Amino acid sequence: MDLPRPELALVPRPRRLSTRSGRLRLDATTRLRVTPGAEPAAALLRTLLTPATGLRLETAADGAFVLAVDPALTGLGDEGYGLTVSSQGALLRAARPAGLLRGVQTVRQLLPYAALSGRPVRGVPWELPAVEITDVPRHAWRGSMLDVARHFQPVSYLRRYVDLLALHKLNVFHLHLTDDQGWRMPVAAHPRLTEVGGRRTESMVGPAGSDRFDGVPHGGAYTRAELRGLVAYAAERGVTVLPETGVPGHVRAALAAHPELGTDPSRRLDVWTHWGVCENVLGTDDHVLDFFRTVLDEVMDVFPSPYVHLGGDECPTTEWERSPAARARAAREGLPGPRALHPWFIARMAEHLVGAGRRPVVWAESGVALPLECTVMSWREPGHARAAAERGHQVVRADHRATYFDYARTHGPQEPPAQPGPVVDLRAVYDVGIVPPTPDPRVAARVLGAQGQLWTEFVRTPEHIEYLTYPRLCALAEQVWDGGSGWLDFTARLAGHRARLDALDVPHAGPPAGVPAPPSVGGLR
């Protein structure tokens, strides 16, 4: 199959691209001219191109490949860039260093597809086509969420995950660190969270309600040094790591480590071995609030992200309704009943983050009124996004019908069993609605962007993660960056872009060998 020329297969599509005649050969004589502020982009360009090409791209005052930060280019915003390539040289410019990092990924995609390989490639002329590109993203929030609580992934893989996000000009890596089935976030003040909460005895593999388990213990936790290293690695690629340590539901692993945090401190629980929604929730006494304020302090110490995710969804209130202490707390706070403790708890944690200069992020839930300081991730219903934006919230779209990559990619017989729900095929992702229809431009402006989600109840390996993620995340990246070219144009470019995924050893076409095929169970999460 003949592939389109690389400049005709850029994903996501640049805002404006014009092709010219001529090509620029990159070889052992090629030098970079790097202006002040452009050094990180030059370092990234070398890091990305050297494995396949062997090019050293050393710095010289008269280098023909120029990387420049020019604050006067205000029309490019924080992440836009301009790229001009001719047979005599190349000029990559941006108003901010982040824009240069996006432009580096475009340079990488303009080269022959094999340039993305992690191994030396011989006999390929490393040439850039002559082009004129001006590129500015459509949305500021372009993200992807990976759940490492259900199935742990080593930090070495998380770095590869970041590299793939950066290639597609995504800028938020949402790291889901805690849940009922595992606690991966190190907390020095409370080491039992990872010592006990980071391991479960076995995993469920049977159909819903079957009580069948695989008998294989599973566990893992990160060190502070590993996470700080990941944050730095991501920042070098223009990606912010958004941490999530969820409350007041999805906390069974924390309760296994610290029973005193629950509604019944005398009860002893294990780390949950089931999937779905667990009814165990946090208690509402002051010591519980203080405990999780300490957790958030350590999260903020490791992750400099301006946003911190509090979870906040799928919180059954049955235990609060049965608990005299919880009912008394609701009465003292002037709440109408124990159910109102859900938004009350989130508000207490949000206050702590706001006081520290951070912005809380919360999953949207029906009937849960959140403080306006909370950025809302709308996942259940598209109407939640519009309602939240109309109330004054910042909004990130995460509609499960278009952005949940744990749902099956296709109805095909080779598709591994997946989370029950609609098939989310490539077209469903491409057709994601980001800005809800509204006549009020202020409401539209509150929609920051969108992100993909991969919950890992049935996803254990990096190969399975990437099969489910790509090329669906390519379609989402297209929409949050540009989104204006249409389905036929996108799929034509994707045909070439798949060759880049091949060079990166991403199993995008069909299930890779060894991908487990556990049966589906109930529940969206």
Q: Which pLDDT tens digit goes with each residue over 62-109? A: 999 999 999 999 999 999 999 999 999 999 999 999 999 999 999 999
The answer for residues whose C-beta is within 8 angstroms of residue 118's C-beta and 6 or more apart is 51, 52, 504, 505
> Which residues fall within 8 angstroms of residue 410, CB to CB, at 6 or more apart?
423, 425
Q: Is the dihedral of CA 352, 357, 361, 367 positive or negative?
A: positive
Say which DSSP state 245 is in. E
- What contacts 346, CB < 8 A, 6 or more positions away? 247, 248, 310, 312, 360, 362, 368, 370, 371, 374
Buried b (16+ CB within 10 A) or exposed e, 469-490: bbbbbbbbbbbbbbbeeeeeeb
Q: Which CATH number fits domain 6-135: 3.30.70.20, 1.10.3720.10, 3.30.390.30, 3.30.379.10?
A: 3.30.379.10
Residue 212 has pLDDT above 80, yes or no: no
CA 95 – CA 108 distance, rounded (Å): 20
pLDDT per position as a tens digit, 302-325: 999 999 999 999 999 999 999 999
Domain residue spans of the chain:
6-135, 141-504
What pTM was estimated for this model as a whole? 0.96
CA distance linking residue 134 with residue 113, whole number of Å: 22
pLDDT value of position 522: 42
Query: Residue 418: its pLDDT value, please?
Result: 87
39 is catalytic: no
The residues pairing with 407 across neighbouring beta strands, listed in sequence order, are 419
- Convert the pLDDT of each residue in 326-369 to its tens digit: 999 999 999 999 999 999 999 999 999 999 999 999 999 987 88
| Whether the predicted pLDDT of 205 surpasses 80 | no
Q: Which of 98, 230, 178, 173 is nearest to 451 (CA)?
A: 173
Residues 460-484, mean pLDDT to the nearest whole number:
96
Q: 129 pLDDT exceeds 80? A: yes
Write down the catalytic residue from 236, 298, 314, 351.
314
The answer to whether the CB of 523 falls within 8 A of the CB of 150 is no
- Give yes or no for residue 57 having a pLDDT over 90: yes
**Can you tell me the mean pLDDT for 14-23?**
97
Greater pLDDT, 207 or 435? 435
What class has domain 141-504? Answer: alpha beta
